Amino acid sequence: MTSGKEKEQSQPVTLSDLNPTHNPARSPNLYRWMRKRVGGTGQLAHVYRVKAGSTAERLFSPGALLIGHQGDYAGCPDFFGSRLNGVLCNGSQEQVMCYPGLARYLEWVPDFWTRYIKVGRCAIDPEHTQNFVDADRFAVSLPGTRRTCKWCGAGQERHLIPRQVFDEHWKTVGERSPDL
């Protein structure tokens, strides 16, 4: 019998490994999207990050993750895929697009699937800033000043930042002109 670590080193990650019934940290929507697109090939889509300082940052956000495949059509390095955030929100309904010439502005994230198998959606949001709708992600300690991620074990401390808020309100001053 092989351990999870041995499997990770000896066998590629498969669609079955992404099934959220195996681990609640994994996204049901990502699984649905992959299941619809992988089909009989069994080949998982790759995950890419938008290169810092590239012109692609205008189309996507800095460091945005995309999922899909690169292709070359008539010498133009195209990307066929979707925004990973769109997949997490829309599941199998997220459209796959062809982005001509985009591949040159992307860098492959080679260890993404290995990290995803270990920590689920924390591989996508390691800073723990996103809220996932279907997720019970944190265990909060009393009196509510610390929380621990149930998926990856990261701890966080709550910090309150005071701010000043002004509401705008207009008041009539003086007499109104009789001509109005």
Full pLDDT tens readout for the chain, 180 residues: 334 443 344 457 888 889 999 899 999 999 999 988 876 556 788 999 999 999 899 889 889 999 999 887 777 789 999 999 999 999 999 999 999 999 999 999 999 999 999 999 999 999 998 888 777 899 998 888 999 999 999 999 999 999 999 999 999 888 777 776
Q: In what order do the strands lie in the sheet with 155-157?
A: 138-141, 146-149, 155-157
Beta bridge partners of 47: 67
pTM of the predicted protein model:
0.77
CA distances from 141 to 138, 151, 156 (A): 10, 16, 10
Residue 117 lies in a domain: yes
Residue 27 lies in a domain: yes
Residue 85 lies in a domain: yes
Residue 86 lies in a domain: yes
Backbone angles phi, psi at 95, to 5 degrees: -75, 150
Backbone angles phi, psi at 53, to 5 degrees: 80, 0
Residue 118 lies in a domain: yes
d(CA 4, CA 6) in angstroms, rounded, equals 6
Number of domains in the chain: 1
pLDDT at 180: 64
d(CA 36, CA 67) in angstroms, rounded, equals 14
Residue 44 lies in a domain: yes
Q: Residue 163 CA to chain centroid, in angstroms?
A: 29
pLDDT at 163: 94
pLDDT at 6: 37
Residue 74 lies in a domain: yes
Secondary structure of residue 36 in the 3-state scheme: helix
CB atoms within 10 A of CB 111: 11
Q: Give me the domain span that covers residue 83.
A: 10-123
Secondary structure of residue 83 in the 3-state scheme: strand
Kindly state the tokens that stand for 32: 């649905």
Residue 99 lies in a domain: yes
Strand ranges inside 31-75, DSSP E: 46-50, 65-73
> Which H or E run includes 58?
helix 56-59
